[in-house]
Structure formats: structure tokens, C-alpha cells
Amino acid sequence: MTTQIKFGTSGWRAVVADEFTFANVRRAVHGIARYVASQKPQGAKVIVGRDPRFLGETFCAMAAEILSAHGIIPLMIAEPAPTPAISYAVIQAKADGAINFTASHNPPEYNGIKFSTPDGAPALPEATKKIEAEIVAFDAAGGVGCGAKGPGPQALDPRRMYLSRLREIVDLDVIRKAGIRVVCDPFWGSARGYTNELLKEGGVSVEAVHDYRDVLFGGHAPEPDDHLLEDCREKMRESKAHIGIATDGDADRFGVVDEDGTFFQPNYIIALLFDYLVESRGWKNGVGKSVATTNLINALAKYHKVELYETPVGFKYIGELIKADKICIGGEESAGLSIRYHVPEKDGLLAGLLCCEMVARRGKSLGTQLQELFVKVGSFYPQRENFRLTEEVKAKFTEKLRSEPQEFFGRKVGEVVRKDGLKLVFQDGSWICYRLSGTEPVVRVYSEAANADELARLSTAAKQWIFE
């Protein structure tokens, strides 16, 4: 049976040699090529890039051949490149899109394809539906391409132009003058040779860990999460660093460690940077966040008198707000953010560098800055949990999600939000949000309360509601 290729929130991902096979990659790229040709029949150019995963070079060569056969010029990136650098290159090169072979933060046995549209943003559902339809049409035609000998590939190096853009955004002088010591952890990924080189050139004291290619990413997912940052912490202790900044496999997500070794969850980083950008840049045009991201941002938006935009989960929705210049920063609790005048795509390198600038300019640790935010607008303790469901429980719970409870284990429901899944906001400001995974029998539960004890009680109630 032919595998159905579905482009989700961040493209198509699958296990190499299981569903991510040469045959399926050909089908996916033919679908993208047919879509691009339908949008621009003559003279189209598409960037082809990758992260450092196994067989990435081979997949890129295959994609170039298929694009050429459709009359599309492939702009080839030789070395692994961060997703935000590819996004920026699309805009600068006036390309008609980009095919990026990456599975982002997924484990090493995965690979994937992200497709960016000519604006450098992740393809919106209207585009991915058309690509999926083109794959079906390609299959119906017997899986035969046009077979023409098209234009040859052209080389493209996004590194210089992207780093030049980061230098314009981030005040490296402030970081250098403050004497901030930084540890970078690119997680063997495509940020290698980017963040640490930029800081070095700026005269900043920087050390790196995991700064070499390993297609197995140390034997685990290249995810800059708390439990995987011990090597970064160790290097920080050795070098007496003020901050540790990490990125995932394709450098669109970030992880940040404070000077005392505390991992700072992305919810707090987005809130701190929002507050910092309003203060340091004077930007007050708006702020964007997904429905599952901390309401600390809502409180700060009110405090700064800035318009709040709450979106469904998926960075493409934040990207649309960036493109329209409606927000100074937009972010998701899953470690994605971007800012005004920058790419409409998650940028993990930028997030880490802005944190360095914020610590340097304010002369305070992230922990101190967060406590000051809590004094200003109140305290917020967010968390996310995943629960696996049997088919029976999933069916029952899916039905339950259609209800709108007025009360939830003794808490009065003040607002029901249906932007994505079911979010219940209680009268004391605490909330929970349930989202069913589209790919596995899992429900994601996001909850937030004013203190750790209340959060624990809310978390227990949230779980009970699923399985009762």
C-alpha cells in the first residue's frame, strides 16, 4: 500500500527506511515541484537545504534532480544550515520556496521535509493541501515525472547573509562590554559554526559543547531540553559562564540555562524577551502567542498596553503576524520564537543571542529578572504533560472535549477558549488546555497556576478528567 504523505504543523516527518524511503521522498519532492510549477510556470527557483542527519546529502541531490526535471532551478546549500538561515535566504534570494531535509528535534532515526513558501514562512495548510493533492496526482500518473532535462543547480551559501542579519539585530558590543561568558550547545546540529563563531567575532568569551557532526546526535533526540543539557551545565561550571544557550537539530528551537544551572522553560524566555524588547527597542505594536503558551504574556501585554494576539498551536500562525508587522515578538511554549523585522519562522539562534544581550544589558541573571516580572504582574507557573490513551479512552475523551463544563473540580470556569483544542480559564486566572495529537494516541495537557502547590492540584484534576 502506498504511504499517504501528510504535511503537518512543521512538514512531513517519518522514520528513515520505514516510511521515509527514497521512493516516498521522490513522491514528496515531485508533489512540491508540481505545486511550485503551478504557482510559477517559468523561471522558478527553489532552495534545497538540510540538517546534518544521515543521508541528507543524498536526499538533497535527489531533490535537485527532480526540481530540474520540472524546469525549476535548484539553489543548493552544500553544508547543513539552520532552518531560520534557510528562511532568510528564501527572502534574500527571492526564491519561490525551500525544501529543507530535517526532522528538527525528532530522534536520529527520523528525517523529514519542511517546505517554506516564497515569504520564508512555513507552508500554510492551503499550500500543504495542494502539495498533498499533487502527490496523489503524481501517483495516479503512475509515478512518472516529466523526464525533461532542466536547468542545472546553482550554489547558495546562506551563512554570511544570515549572520550579517543577526549582527544588525543583536547588540554584540553590549554583550562584549559586560564581560558575559557564554556556553553554546548546538546539539551536533546545523547551528554549528553559527552562534559561537558570531560571538567569537564579536569579542565575546564563548565555549562550545557538541560542536562536531554526529548523525546519531549522541544517541538521543537533538532536543535542547532540561534533561539533555548536563554537558552544557558542566562546561558552564568549568568556564564560570553567565548563560548557556542551546539549539535543536535544525536550530529553530532554543534551550537556555541560567548562571546557576537552572533550565529556563521557553514560556519564561518568551515573556522575558517580550518585556526586554518593549524596554530596549520601544516596540509596542503587539505580541503573539499560541493558546497553550503562558498567560504571563497576557499580563505583560496588559501592563505594557500592548495588543495581544492568541493563535492556534503552530508557528505558521505567529509567522503571519510577523509578516504583517502586528507583533514585536511571537512565541510558543514548545521553544519557538521570532521577532519584528525578522523571519516569519522559529529562530533558536536569535532567541539565545537576545538572552545574552538581555542578561548583559540588565546586569542580572535570568532568575532575578523573572522574579522582578512576577513582582510587576503576578506569578505564573506553567507546565505541559503528555498522556497516552487507549483507543477506548481516546474515543470517550474526544467526545468529552466537545462539552463546555461550567465547573471543574470545584473551580468555576470563567472562559472557554476553542482556538485549538479545549482551554478552560478559571476565575482565579489559572487554566488548563487539552489538545489531542493528530499523529498518535496522546493528549497534551497544558496547565498554569499562580504557585507550585496550586499547579500540582490543577495537574491532578486535569489528569483525573481524562481518565474518570
**CATH code, domain carrying 122:** 3.40.120.10
Global pTM reads 0.96
330 and 234 co-located in one domain: yes
In a shared domain, residues 304 and 334:
yes
pLDDT for 1 equals: 55
Q: 175-197 burial by CB neighbour count: b if 16+ within 10 A, else e? A: beebebbbbbbbbbbbbbbbbbe
Instruction: Quote the cell numbers at residue 451.
Output: 504557585
Residue 4 lies in a domain: no
Q: Which stretches within 51-124 are classed as H helix?
A: 56-69, 83-92
Same domain, 373 and 416: no
> Does residue 6 form part of some domain?
no
Of 218, 188, 208, 181, nearest to 356 (Cα)?
181
Cα dihedral sign for 413, 415, 418, 423? negative
Whether residue 3 lies inside any domain: the answer is no
Place of cell 503558551: 293
Are both 153 and 169 inside the same structural domain? no
CB of 206 closer than 8 Å to CB of 200? yes
CA geometry: angle at 244 spanning 242 and 246, to 5°? 165
Domain housing 53: 12-157
Residues 151 and 168 in one domain: no
Count of H-run helices and E-run strands, the chain: 15, 21
Which residue reads 526586554 in cell numbers?
276
Q: What angle do CA 385, 388, 393 make, to 5 degrees?
A: 120
Given 157, 172, 197, the domain boundary residue is 157
At 9 the pLDDT is 61
- Tens digit of pLDDT per residue, the chain (468 long)? 578 898 876 789 999 999 999 999 999 999 999 999 999 999 999 999 999 999 999 999 999 999 999 999 999 999 999 999 999 999 999 999 999 999 999 999 999 999 999 999 999 889 999 999 999 999 998 876 666 667 889 999 999 999 999 999 999 999 999 999 999 999 999 999 999 999 999 999 999 999 999 999 999 999 999 999 999 999 999 999 999 999 999 999 999 999 999 999 999 999 999 999 999 999 999 999 999 999 999 999 999 999 999 999 989 899 999 999 999 999 999 999 999 999 999 999 999 999 999 999 999 999 999 999 999 999 999 999 999 999 999 999 999 999 999 999 999 999 999 999 999 999 999 999 999 987 678 999 999 999 999 999 999 999 999 998
